[in-house]
Amino acid sequence: MKKHTIKDIAQLAGVSKGTVDRVIHKRGKVSEKALEKVNKVLAEIDYQPNLMARSLKNNKDYHLCALLPNPDIDPYWLPCKAGINQAFNEYKSLGITIDTHTFDPTSTEDFLEVNARVLSLNPDAVLMVPLFFNEATKSIKAYAEAEILVSIINNRIGSEDINNFVGQDLFQSGRIAARLMEMITPKDSEIIIAHLDEFFHNASFMQQKEKGFRDYFENLLTSNYTLKTCNSIESNKYKTLFDAIDSSKNISGIFVTTSKTYKVAKMVENFPNLSIKIIGYDLLEKNISYLNSGAIDFLIHQNPKQQIYLGLSQLAEYFLFDKPISEEKLLSIDIINSENYNSYLNQ
């Protein structure tokens, strides 16, 4: 398993390295005889170009922009900073620069504005959380026209100009929650699917989870749960959810489709006589605290840190080593309880 260089091949084929180079890169200007000689050698050996040398010769700096919601407004995005740093440290000595731009997740205007700013920086690629469908589609088109690669994470939206998606299968995520819920609640009891989010843009993602959740229970032959959906928003102090619990004293579980699971855990404290199991999303500090106290039973980990790290590293390796970018990278969907959350925080 010797390592062959272009020089080796040239010698074996009895031509110069220039000719070998032209054959390999199909630059033409090669006689049939020479082409044949080189191809014969190439067929015999397994030529693997030295990526270090290639990359050194190229010696370009690549500029990536990460575009995500402001973690101060939605703490779900907090771990992303660590993911970006990890990618930054890994690739900074290889000619990759990464900078972060955050936008207000409550404002489509801000989203567009930040995108315009990023576009004007003319980076080589953008990694974006496409929170708002219409605005994201528009921005992505603009990037494509400027020949800027676009990867998206967390929320899958369709577009021909997207090179790469990293995230989870939300429908399946709902099914996982349903299976867990089935295991810890009494048969045929009543379960609430709670959508807690002031951000309307999350609607479609919450619904995918709900669909998966309902799908699981609909296909259960051995039991007959009652599922109720409840939309509830903070500005209303989540009154709809409170009323739903209050009116029916038969609720055994609540599936919270967003990271605001801790709000539900807190609310349930008002009903000490009820035994309500709670399954929700994301390793926010407050969620973990309720997980530890037993108020929350399971969390599903959407792993924003890993999402952004994988998205960035795919882009970096594409530029540096020509590695193909996978169109879609689905992360594992992690089930979290009070005993294993710690093993994920240190990842």
Q: Which positions lie near DNA, rule CB under 7 A?
A: 3, 5-7, 15-19, 21-22, 24-25, 28-35, 49-50, 53-54, 56-59
Say whether residue 343 binds a second copy (CB under 8 A): yes
Rounded to a whole number of angstroms, the minimum distance from the CB of residue 118 to a second copy is 17
Count CB-CB contacts under 10 A for residue 244.
19
The site partner of 70 among DNA, a second copy, none (C-beta below 5 to 8 Å per kind) is none
Max intra-chain CA distance, the chain: 89
Pairing of strands 298-301, 251-256: unpaired
CA-based torsion, 62, 93, 79, 315: positive or negative: positive
Contacts of residue 113, Cβ cutoff 8 Å, sequence gap at least 6 = 103
Rounded to a whole number of angstroms, the minimum distance from the CB of residue 38 to DNA is 9
Say whether residue 342 binds a second copy (CB under 8 A): yes
Distances (CA, A) of 99 to 94, 149, 241, 278, 336: 15, 15, 40, 38, 31
Rounded to a whole number of angstroms, the minimum distance from the CB of residue 248 to a second copy is 23
Stretch of 108-116, 131-139, 155-163, 178-186 lying at the interface with a second copy (CB under 8 A): 178-186
Alpha carbons 62 and 314: distance in angstroms, whole number = 13
CA neighbor of 118 nearest in space, from 135, 141, 137, 99? 99
Alpha carbons 128 and 325: distance in angstroms, whole number = 16
Q: Tell which positions 314-333 bind a second copy, by CB under 8 A.
A: 321, 330-333
Rounded to a whole number of angstroms, the minimum distance from the CB of residue 163 to DNA is 21
Alpha carbons 275 and 252: distance in angstroms, whole number = 6
Is 77 within 8 Å of 71 (Cβ atoms)?
yes
Say whether residue 221 binds a second copy (CB under 8 A): no
The site partner of 6 among a second copy, DNA, none (C-beta below 5 to 8 Å per kind) is DNA
CA neighbor of 148 nearest in space, from 115, 107, 106? 115
Rounded to a whole number of angstroms, the minimum distance from the CB of residue 10 to a second copy is 18
Say whether residue 339 binds a second copy (CB under 8 A): yes
The site partner of 22 among a second copy, DNA, none (C-beta below 5 to 8 Å per kind) is DNA
The site partner of 216 among DNA, a second copy, none (C-beta below 5 to 8 Å per kind) is a second copy
* Identity of the residue, 34 or 98, whose beta carbon is nearer to DNA in the bound complex: 34
Alpha carbons 167 and 329: distance in angstroms, whole number = 7
Say whether residue 338 binds a second copy (CB under 8 A): yes
Is 191 within 8 Å of 252 (Cβ atoms)?
yes
The site partner of 16 among a second copy, DNA, none (C-beta below 5 to 8 Å per kind) is DNA
Alpha carbons 230 and 192: distance in angstroms, whole number = 7
Q: Tell which positions 93-112 bind a second copy, by CB under 8 A.
A: 93-95, 97
Alpha carbons 33 and 37: distance in angstroms, whole number = 6
Say whether residue 207 binds a second copy (CB under 8 A): no
Binding mask 55-94 for a second copy (x = CB under 8 A): xx----x------------------------------xxx
Task: Give the helix/strand (H/E) hosting 177.
Answer: helix 170-184
Rounded to a whole number of angstroms, the minimum distance from the CB of residue 2 to DNA is 10
Task: Give the helix/strand (H/E) hosting 87.
Answer: helix 80-91
Binding mask 259-298 for a second copy (x = CB under 8 A): --------------------------------------x-
* Identity of the residue, 24 or 233, whose beta carbon is nearer to a second copy in the bound complex: 24
Q: Which residues of the chain form contacts with a second copy (CB under 8 A)?
A: 1, 3, 48-53, 55-56, 61, 92-95, 97, 168-169, 172, 175-176, 178-180, 183-184, 216, 297, 321, 330-340, 342-344, 346-347
